Amino acid sequence: MVIEKICCLGAGYVGGPTCSVIAWKCPDIKVTVCDKSIERINQWNSDKLPIYEPGLDEVVKECRGKNLFFSTDIANSIQEADLIFISVNTPTKTIGNGKGRAADLKYIEGAARMIADLATSNKIVVEKSTVPVKAAEIIMKILRANTKPGVEYQILSNPEFLAEGTAIVDLVESERVLIGGEDTPEGQKAVQALCWVYEHWIPAKNILTTNTWSSELSKLAANAFLAQRISSINSLSAVCEATGADVSEVARAVGRDSRIGPKFLEASIGFGGSCFQKDILNLIYLSECLNLPEVAAYWQQVVSFNDYQKNRFTRKVIESLFNTVSDKKIAILGFSFKKNTGDTRESPAICVSKTLLDEGAKLHIYDPKVETDQIYYELTHPQVTNEPEVVRKNIEIHNSAYSAVTGAHALVLCTEWDEFKELDFKKIYNVMMKPAYIFDGRKILDHEALINIGFHVQTIGKRLSRTGSIRAQGSQTLP
């Protein structure tokens, strides 16, 4: 089976970059990315794309209008496609059964019903969104209960492993592409058809095929493992702060063991992003439904520890500022959940900001890529506060770090943007209130230099004194 036309439902952080790269690498395939939001599609068709992702602009510019299209004409795109990716959002349920843990599959269900209504020829339907195990079964049930004569469906699971900020590199140089399908001749034919698409640029050895449920669970497992590493190193960061050990040295030593490896051992203010917490909560919910409470409790601890880490950091800020931040001006540098993205979903900066606002602080926020409205949205929507007007009065958004810190009692660094390392801290010291405090939630600044300028500095996983770091007695720097 040859794939000539692909349709993608959902032009978000996953669907947009993934399909742009498919179009770029497969000039023989027409790729149409659809969204029900006209505004989103207009942005994809403009010079300012709706998401910031290094390298994305170039790829879109090269293919848009040739074999890559962004459209709201969902009906036509579905009808002409051989293969349809479902890349719609799967937020955590906020009401009803499984509230706060289970994924809300209403958008997945909506997309499946749309396909069932509109399709007039055979389709391979590929679930791309991160979904709970057995979501493919839901899609299958809806499609097969609504089959029309001459229309057959194959459902595949093809989870996306890209990380934001490095999406294009991750897609172009994928370590692995995972495709799960039904163990029937037709199922395997569909798997091979999708393999053929990826083989345009991914070496065949990097394309793993499996059954649908293993594929779905692998995605949750990968994110759970990654998040668990961060909670593990963050738990040690607390031990380091209490003992005088340095978490970076510990991570370096531990990561040298090839069984452990050096990546994803960066202690931080806590993990954020749309995937980690949501996927672990899915795994917890699944375990509870399967009557495996010990498994649920094991993974719950990874999420609970992350909340503790975010709160621990914020508590440190408040305690250092003489236990009161009421009416104090505090500069928040960085609002996205990590560098090189404008995405704020589950960003630890939200938790830090909210607590400081609750304590009466006035926040002056700067992020290089997050839009002003997005910051207001995150801090004022009903699940965060029931006093949006008060919150609005107490936040000011800046377009440079220097203007945000002017007159501030403290600078709280929440995101590891490279430009923060290049700031002129002497200049910053001169315009801040004294004593001037810096809380480096990402361990990226030169703490000794800051202390020498006159700052009081606190960071994650390392105890600092005004004169410099305290090394544990007898410790040696590893090569």
- Residue 265 touches which of ligand ADP, ligand UDX, none (CB < 5 to 8 A by kind)? ligand UDX
State the DSSP code for 476. Answer: -
Tell me whether residue 25 or residue 338 sits nearer to ligand UDX (CB atom). Answer: 338
Q: How far apart are CA 323 and CA 161, in angstroms?
A: 42
9 binds ligand ADP (CB under 6 A): yes
Q: Which of 24, 52, 85, 107 binds ligand ADP (CB under 6 A)?
A: 107
Alpha helices in 81-184 (DSSP H): 106-118, 135-145, 167-172
Tell me whether residue 338 or residue 409 sits nearer to ligand UDX (CB atom). Answer: 338
Part in contact with ligand ADP (CB under 6 A); list of ranges 5-13, 138-146, 240-248, 407-415: 5-13
Is 204 assigned to a binding site? no
Least Å from the CB of residue 158 to ligand UDX: 12
**Footprint of ligand ADP on 33-62 (CB under 6 A):** 34-37, 40
Q: How far apart are CA 455 and CA 83, in angstroms?
A: 58
Residue 418: exposure state from Cβ atoms within 10 A (0-12, 13-18, ≥19): exposed
State the DSSP code for 51. Answer: S
471 binds ligand ADP (CB under 6 A): no
Q: How far apart are CA 340 and CA 380, in angstroms?
A: 24
Is 412 assigned to a binding site? no
Tell me whether residue 15 or residue 441 sits nearer to ligand ADP (CB atom). Answer: 15
271 binds ligand UDX (CB under 6 A): yes
197 binds ligand UDX (CB under 6 A): no
Tell me whether residue 112 or residue 444 sits nearer to ligand ADP (CB atom). Answer: 112
88 binds ligand ADP (CB under 6 A): yes
Tell me whether residue 36 or residue 252 sits nearer to ligand ADP (CB atom). Answer: 36
Tell me whether residue 264 or residue 376 sits nearer to ligand UDX (CB atom). Answer: 264
Q: Which of 337, 366, 420, 425 binds ligand UDX (CB under 6 A)?
A: 337
- Residue 272 touches which of ligand UDX, ligand ADP, none (CB < 5 to 8 A by kind)? ligand UDX
Contact 252, 240 (CB under 8 A): no
- Residue 440 touches which of ligand ADP, ligand UDX, none (CB < 5 to 8 A by kind)? none
Q: Which of 20, 212, 231, 268 binds ligand UDX (CB under 6 A)?
A: 268
List of residues 6+ apart from 209 with CB closer than 8 A: 179, 180, 181, 191, 195
Closest CA to 314 of 461, 248, 413: 413
DSSP secondary structure, 63-102, as one string:
HBTTTEEEES-HHHHHHH-SEEEE----PBP-SSTTTTTS
Is 262 assigned to a binding site? no
Size of the site for ligand UDX (CB under 6 A): 19
443 binds ligand UDX (CB under 6 A): no
Q: How far apart are CA 102 and CA 279, in angstroms?
A: 9
Q: Which of 164, 241, 249, 440 binds ligand UDX (CB under 6 A)?
A: 164
- Residue 103 touches which of ligand ADP, ligand UDX, none (CB < 5 to 8 A by kind)? none
Residue 99: other Cβ atoms inside 10 A = 11
Token pair, residue 428, equals 């910053």
For 208, the 3-state DSSP assignment is strand
Tell me whether residue 87 or residue 237 sits nearer to ligand ADP (CB atom). Answer: 87
Tell me whether residue 69 or residue 335 sits nearer to ligand UDX (CB atom). Answer: 335
Contact 384, 351 (CB under 8 A): no
Part in contact with ligand ADP (CB under 6 A); list of ranges 104-112, 217-225, 234-242, 401-409: 104-112
CA atoms within 13 A on the CB side of 209: 16
Kindly give the pairing relationship between strand 437-440 and strand 410-413: parallel
Alpha helices in 244-347 (DSSP H): 247-255, 276-289, 293-320
Q: How far apart are CA 125 and CA 85, in angstroms?
A: 6
List of residues 6+ apart from 451 with CB closer than 8 A: 457, 464, 465, 466, 467, 468
Phi, psi of 411 (to 5 degrees): -115, 125
342 binds ligand ADP (CB under 6 A): no
Q: How far apart are CA 374 and CA 45, in angstroms?
A: 21
Q: Which of 7, 23, 102, 111 binds ligand ADP (CB under 6 A)?
A: 111
162 binds ligand UDX (CB under 6 A): yes
32 binds ligand ADP (CB under 6 A): no
306 binds ligand ADP (CB under 6 A): no
Residues identified as active-site: 275
Q: How far apart are CA 143 and CA 312, in angstroms?
A: 48
**Hey, what amino acid is at 175?**
E
What angle in degrees, to the nearest 10, is found between the helix axes of 348-358 and 372-380?
60
Token pair, residue 385, equals 């506060």
Least Å from the CB of residue 69 to ligand UDX: 25
Residues tagged in the binding site annotation for NAD(+): 10-15, 35, 40, 88-92, 129-130, 164, 275-278, 345
> Which residues contact ligand UDX by CB under 6 A?
160-164, 223, 226, 230, 264-266, 268, 271-273, 275-276, 337-338
Point out which residues bind ligand ADP (CB under 6 A): 9-15, 34-37, 40, 74, 87-89, 107, 110-111, 114, 129, 274
Annotated binding site: 10-15, 35, 40, 88-92, 129-130, 164, 275-278, 345
